[in-house]
Chains A and B, each alone.
Chain A
Amino acid sequence: MIIAFALAAAVLFGSGAYLLLKRDLVRMVAGIMLISQAAVLTIIASSLNRGQAVIHVGPDDDPSDPLPQALALTALVIGLATVALLLAMVHRVVVVFRTSEQDALAATEAEVEARLERKRQADREEVEGVEGAKEDDAEAIEHEELGRVR
């Protein structure tokens, strides 16, 4: 069973990861949901004992490990919370950018990049100096000779 749980969790995780890489933001949310399921399944699979439900345990019973169950409950709720938040975010992004494709989002980055070019040049000039305004040593000496000729 160990390997079965591991396999199932891994498939959930891997498929989730694959979906995260999709261009469609809705698929990204689905990916996170799958990964969240993988986490809960792993927590449950980490039980140190699998038996009957741990309610009114008698001395002869073989109860399941209750702690991972408690953790899984928490993880489930947190998963719900974060997925809801992510969904809202995706929704907002789609409304604002009018697209659910990630490539379109990246395109806005390119605009910003283009605007930054001028500032970049200015930065460069702060340490490297303005092109053409540099005065080399030899030039500086020739200045003097020109002055003398005049």
Chain B
Amino acid sequence: MVRRSGRGAAPDSVVRVVARMLPAPSVMVAAALIVKGYAEVGDGFAAGVIVALAVSLTYVAVGADGAEAVLPVLRHAPKIAVTGLLLALASGFFPLVYGEEPVSHQPAPGEPLTKFGKLELFTQLLMDIGVFLLVVGVLVMLLHQFGRLRGEEKS
């Protein structure tokens, strides 16, 4: 418990204060992402953190148990993270099958590729999705671990 001598701010109120501060930067960040148009390659990491921050808001607002009850999908976070990593690794190392060097993308540099609007389809996208999944999974796990500290102490 943080109980600063004399001033008596309860821990939960501290957390709540910080929680109330948090939406601002995360919304700003999301906006920045959209405005800057990351669509070209997409940045999995940033997207992942944004989602994780949104989840963290739920944690802050309704507590760990509440959040995990509201979003049961969260309990798959470890699997999501590892799937993400495997996906990223697969996109990085699948060229080995063709005898190419790792982290070479298909279509290869310079070759034409399919586009969906601004979204370019090539294997790098897989890696980005992998990164995204991993970041979401990992950060949610982190929230889970730190968010439930009190229950752990009791047991």
Is there direct touching of A and B in the complex, by C-beta distance under 8 Å? yes
- Within 8 Å of chain B (Cβ to Cβ): is A77? yes
Is A91 within 8 A of B149, CB to CB? yes
- Within 8 Å of chain B (Cβ to Cβ): is A106? no
Chain A residues near B145: list those with CB within 8 A: 88
Please classify how large the interface on chain B is, using the bins under 10, 10 to 19, 20 to 34, 35 or more: under 10
Query: Which A residues are within 8 Å of any B CB, using their own CB?
Result: 55, 73, 77, 84, 87-88, 91, 95
Is B153 within 8 A of A95, CB to CB? yes
Give the complex CA separation of A55 and B38 in angstroms.
Answer: 10
Interface SS of A by simple majority? helix
Give min CB distance, A11 to chain B, whole Å.
Answer: 25
Chain B residues near A87: list those with CB within 8 A: 146
Digit string of B126-140 for contact with A (CB within 8 Å is 1, else 0)?
000000000000000
Chain B residues near A88: list those with CB within 8 A: 145-146
- Within 8 Å of chain A (Cβ to Cβ): is B142? yes
Give min CB distance, A100 to chain B, whole Å.
Answer: 12
9 examples of A-B residue contacts, CB within 8 angstroms: A55-B36, A73-B45, A77-B45, A84-B142, A87-B146, A88-B145, A88-B146, A91-B149, A95-B153
Give the complex CA separation of A84 and B145 in angstroms.
Answer: 11
